[in-house]
Amino acid sequence: MRTVHRNIVGIFLFSNDEYCLLGKSRSGGVYNDEWMVIGGGIEAHETKLEALKRETLEEVGIDITGFKIQLLDKVFHGQSQKILRDTDEQVLVKMTFYDFVVYANKPAKDIAIICEDDIAEAKWHPLKDLPLLNLAAPTKVVLHDLGYL
């Protein structure tokens, strides 16, 4: 199996009423059937922040302009198998994660979610419920470090 290396931005998006947005990949995507942060690959011409804004808009239809955005100090690594959409090739994706914490200035119910691209399902989860979820390993590590698990 071929290995693909990707630099990824992830968004830990929190509403002002104590919810966290998490998503699940499309069939064949990374971390299948596990809740994970929204995000995606950084293109060669982009900064991490530009990629974060683009991916959030592409994946769940949310414009994070005007929200408080903070890049986390730690860089994380993870890997998952994935089926490439354009070739149907199964690959091992080794990822380097550059995660951001983003605080929305409104409640979750006022932030519409439109799942597109690689995210098949996205949902606002109450912070108190995060320990009960089947979380992707990298997402779990960061939520633990942030004090939510």
Neighbours of 83 (CB within 10 A): 15
pLDDT exceeding 90 applies to what percent of the chain? 73
Can you give the residue ranges of every domain in the chain? 2-143
The structure's pTM equals: 0.88
Average pLDDT over residues 5-10: 93
> Angle 9-142-61 (CA atoms, 0-180°, nearest 5)?
40
pLDDT of residue 132: 96
21-46 pLDDT, tens digit per residue, is 999 987 767 778 899 999 999 999 99
Contact at 8 Å (CB) between 93 and 31?
A: no
Hey, what CATH topology would domain 2-143 get? Nucleoside Triphosphate Pyrophosphohydrolase (3.90.79)
